[in-house]
Amino acid sequence: MINRMVVNNLARRPVRTALSILAVVIEVVLIISVVGLVRGLLDEGARRQQGIGADIVVQPPGASVFMGLSSATMPVKMGDVLGQVPGVTAVTPVYFQSFGGLTLAYGIDLESFRAVSGGFQVLRGRTIQGGYEVMIDDVYAAENKVKVGDTRELWGHDFTVAGIVEHGKGARLFVPLATVQQLSGSQGKASIFYLRVAGPQDLGPALARFKSMLPGYNIRSMEEMTSLMMAGNLPGVKPFERIMIAIAVVIGFLVIFLAMYTTVLERTREIGILKSLGASKGYIVNVILRETVLVALLGIGLGIGASLLLRYVVLHNFRTLAILITPGWLLRASLIAVGGALLGAFYPALRAARQDPIEALAYE
């Protein structure tokens, strides 16, 4: 009976109900998509680092785990010394340079990079040989509609696309190490060294040796490095997520509050009628909150659908992006939406429950 009344009440004002649902949809989409984008990009970046296949990562003091934020200050010749440590089977220097915002290019020594990573899976064309040549991964190629033989402008110079390789080995673009060193005026320098060890038993001793050789340097296992890049461990990510969630909750709260407040005002007489029939304060609150929960549930369902659709559209058009949507965050977004809606409806519901029945019945 009460559910019938709830549904009829919502259907009576379809525009207001639709706007309330829309507010919840926006709330859910904001939470799922923004959090999903941040976590997706971070986690995807960490996976590409893991894809290099290295066991140890050496960076200069003060370097960020985010490659594009660090400069090249280590001499390449340092790699020869690092390679002498027992257990180390391969070392490769990499010079990374960002361009166009989020896109990172690796300057690599192809031979040593191959020794650490196992080489590239070339899908079209060939590997770089030198000069102004670039290899791009298949994701970047698809998004930017680039094919072998095209030119890409990097750092003010035209680079010819030599080959398209399978994604997943650090960056999306690879240029010769010497070329990027020359262009940036940092000849003989590297941003990072990736190292491979013979077996798991060599990892600990190698790390300890490097730390004693290079005090102050950031020397980490790949596992530790990628763990730091994961969204859950990165300082600032959780506060950012909380701020986005708070903004989303405020949107949902305000719209629901206003909608339910006007609903209660509009239905003053009906509330008086229910009270004259013996409806308690709890009954009145129950009706208002049930309407709110129904609006929230509809908004959540549509919001999840819209988030998935948005993810599909974004990834279809921007393949280098990643939006991570997990069941855990779907549940969190749903609970947050319901909670925010109930919070918004609480005061109007209490107001309705406290109305004097005689005054309510006389309301025009």
Partner 1 sequence: MALHHIIEVESLEKVFHVGRVDVPALRGVDLRVEAGEFLAVIGPSGSGKSTLFHIIGGLTSPTAGRVLVDGVDLASVGDAGRTRLRKEKVGFVFQRFNLLPTLTAQGNIDVARHIAGDFSHYQEAHFQEIVKMLGIERRLHHRPAELSGGEQQRVATARALVNGPAILLADEPTGNLDTENSQAVLEVLRGLNQRLGQTILMITHNPEAAGFAHRTVAMRDGRIVS
Which member of 138, 213, 357, 363 binds partner 1 (CB under 8 A)? 357
Instruction: Give the residue with the Cβ less far from partner 1, 209 or 281.
Output: 281
- Quick one: tokens of 5? 């009344």
Residue 363 token pair: 């309301």
Task: Give least dist CB 268 to partner 1, A.
Answer: 12
Nearest residue (CB) to partner 1, 2 versus 81 = 2
Q: Tell me how far apart the alpha carbons of residues 138 and 143 are, in angstroms, rounded to a whole number.
A: 9
Which residue among 39, 172, 196, 275 contacts partner 1 (CB under 8 A)? 275
Determine, following the binding rule CB under 8 A, whether residue 352 of this chain makes contact with partner 1: no
Cα distances (angstroms) measured from residue 9 to each of 6, 39, 267, 357: 5, 40, 10, 20
**Cα–Cα distance, 298 to 295 (Å, whole number):** 5
Residue 283 is a binding residue for partner 1 (CB under 8 A) = yes
Write out the two tokens for 357: 């029945």
Q: What is residue 216's three-state secondary structure?
A: coil
235 binds partner 1 (CB under 8 A): no
Please compute Rg for the chain using Cα positions.
29
What does 29-66 look like in DSSP terms, one character per residue?
A: HHHHHHHHHHHHHHHHHHHHHHTT--SEEEE-TT--SS
Query: What is each CA distance from 10 to 16, 134, 266, 287, in whole angstroms?
Result: 8, 60, 13, 11
250 is a contact residue toward partner 1 (CB under 8 A):
no
Binds partner 1 (CB under 8 A): choice among 84, 182, 276, 326? 276
The amino acid sitting at 353 is: A
Asked if 1 touches partner 1 (CB under 8 A), the answer is yes
- Report how far residue 138's alpha carbon sits from residue 124's, in angstroms, rounded to the nearest whole number: 9
Q: How far is the CB of 259 from partner 1 (least distance, A)?
A: 17
Closest distance to partner 1 from the beta carbon of 248 (Å): 31
Quick one: which segment of 4-12, 91-99, 120-128, 137-145 binds partner 1 (CB under 8 A)? 4-12
Single out the residue of 114, 270, 297, 342 in contact with partner 1 (rule: CB under 8 A): 270
Residue 356 sits in the site that holds partner 1 (CB under 8 A): yes
Kindly tell me which residue out of 246, 254, 309, 358 binds partner 1, with binding defined by CB under 8 A.
358
Tell whether residue 240 is a contact of partner 1 (CB under 8 A). Answer: no
Distance of closest approach, residue 351 Cβ to partner 1, in angstroms: 16
> Binding segment for partner 1 among 24-32, 100-108, 202-210, 270-278 (CB under 8 A)?
270-278
Eight-class DSSP state of 235: T
The helix/strand/coil state of 162 is strand
| Using rule CB under 8 A, residue 326 touches partner 1 | no
Binding of partner 1 by 12 (CB under 8 A): yes
| Pairing verdict, β 192-197 and 88-99 | antiparallel
Q: Is 15 in the site for partner 1 (CB under 8 A)?
A: no
Is 9 an interacting residue with respect to partner 1 (CB under 8 A)?
A: yes
Distance of CA 333 to CAs 47, 252, 258, 296, 351, Å? 25, 12, 22, 11, 28
In angstroms, give the least distance from the CB of 8 to partner 1. 4
Q: Do the bridges between strand 88-99 and strand 103-108 make them parallel or antiparallel, or are there none, so unpaired?
A: antiparallel
Residues that bind partner 1 (CB under 8 A): 1-2, 4-5, 8-9, 11-12, 269-270, 272-281, 283, 356-358, 361
